[in-house]
Chains A and B, each alone.
Chain A
């Protein structure tokens, strides 16, 4: 374990029952950097986040976060580690029965005994960081998709985590909100001295802000590099992905019987 690596995934495999999701994946997340994990939907990217946060156990290999092997931790140890991680879920996952203020205050109240005035100041600072101090009294149902994502980001950084994980942070957002979230990712990473992992398939947005990219396909890392290296890559999968080509190593057609046979088949199927 080297001191510069915050997360080390070493030869990790994972399967749901017998269906393999990840096979022999190794990657490193250096401290202070913003790393993207890219790949088509269902390729196993989100599973990687779940492994790093200890929600699932690898069937082989180890995941180390800040020197600790995640799957060897007991419940207490895992919770202690998670207090130093923040996660932004795909659609925010805000608590719908609480106001914006209470959502951001949730972790602070659960894990500290700070007086109410101090909690208020902290929450306002976090909301200010994402530009939504004025929305503290709203309920989640009153927020737009982009605002909900920003509130969720304020909640994720409430305890100043060392690692922030973003699960598809750009999905379903308008271009302005996408830009805002992108900027926040970079700014918060620097302000908190944290490291960030972004799992996404929004290539162009992500390439503008990350330091390093891993490409996952069918449960394996197929390519990696800096944003410029990725843009210039001749690797067929990376090329198809970055330039959004409809056909390539990822075929347009889902495997099926020959088209002619399909049309001539008896009508009852």
Chain B
């Protein structure tokens, strides 16, 4: 009995130490990526290529999701607002929900599943097939050549994707609210313009999406670089990227929201 308790405690202790060690390792890795970012930014072609893979190739999923989320917001928002006779405020509801929350968060979650997993799988497989070691043997630093461009590609793409998500969401809300249901076009846009504050709402939304982009890109490159170089190891790393980034986005969203909108 005593032994079983002791074993249990030991297991918990070891797991906690392992996680803290891994967090420390990931932070050192993050510092190394930042330190080696000079090459990635100087040789911008490398980063542009990664923006294409992480950003441009995510356009379809982001656009379609943004449009549909906006359309659903339009339907649900109208249903609720018309009970209080304020269906003219539909534009405000759709826009604020999107630029403050749904845009950065949902785009972040989609970005983690679409681009984050791809980055992890690519780096992990490069490691498993000795491409990373080959690069080191050729005196080329893989953190500067492989990791940093992918990191910055993700960081730059994410706010743009979130902005696009919100824009298409507003369009979707307008499509359903104004074109289908018949809410007044003028009040839809005028109320939105009056109620959405550039600094408070839009800039804060962009800051959120930039932070999420950095978190997802960091997790994705770290998991790929740290993957056990086997088929199973890479598959586990890819799963970890999606799970950890999604949780990180939700947790960071709470923290950022608490700081940004506490006065309202």
Q: Interface of A with B (CB < 8 Å)?
A: 53, 55, 78-80, 82-83, 85, 87, 89-91, 93-96, 106-107, 110-111
Contacts and interface: CB of A to CB of B under 8 A. Distances in A.
B229 to A, nearest CB: 12
Contacts of B130: 89-91, 93
Interface in B111-143: 126, 129-131, 133-141
A107 B131 CA distance: 13
Nearest to B137: A87
Most central of A85, A87, A91 by chain B CB within 10 Å: A87
Given A96-B131, A110-B138, 18 more contacts: A55-B133, A55-B136, A55-B137, A79-B139, A79-B141, A82-B137, A82-B139, A83-B138, A85-B137, A89-B130, A93-B131, A93-B133, A95-B134, A95-B135, A106-B138, A107-B139, A107-B140, A111-B139
A96 B133 CA distance: 14
Nearest to A83: B139
Contacts of B131: 93-96
Contacts of A91: 129-130
Interface-central residue, A93, A95, A96, by most chain B CB under 10 Å? A93
B219 to A, nearest CB: 22
Interface of B: 126, 129-131, 133-141, 145
Contact of B129 (A53, A80, A93, A107): A93
Nearest 8 A/B pairs, CB to CB: A93-B130, A79-B139, A93-B134, A82-B139, A87-B137, A83-B139, A107-B138, A89-B130
A77 to B, nearest CB: 11
28 contacts: A55-B133, A55-B136, A78-B139, A79-B139, A79-B141, A80-B139, A82-B136, A82-B138, A82-B139, A83-B139, A87-B137, A89-B133, A90-B130, A91-B129, A93-B129, A93-B130, A93-B131, A93-B133, A94-B131, A95-B126, A95-B135, A96-B129, A96-B131, A106-B138, A110-B139, A110-B140, A110-B145, A111-B139
A87 B140 CA distance: 13
Nearest to A53: B137
A80 B137 CA distance: 11
Nearest to B132: A93
A48 to B, nearest CB: 15
A87 B139 contact: no
Contacts of A89: 130, 133-134
A94 B134 CA distance: 8
A57 to B, nearest CB: 14
B50 to A, nearest CB: 11
A215 B133 CA distance: 26
Contacts of A106: 138, 140
Contacts of A78: 139
A140 B145 CA distance: 20
A60 to B, nearest CB: 24
Contacts of B145: 110
Contacts of B135: 95
Contacts of A111: 139-140
A89 B131 CA distance: 9
A76 to B, nearest CB: 10
A55 B138 CA distance: 12
Nearest to B122: A97
A110 B130 CA distance: 19
Nearest to B146: A95
A79 B143 CA distance: 14
Contacts of A80: 139
Given A80-B139, A107-B140, A111-B139, A87 B129 contact: no
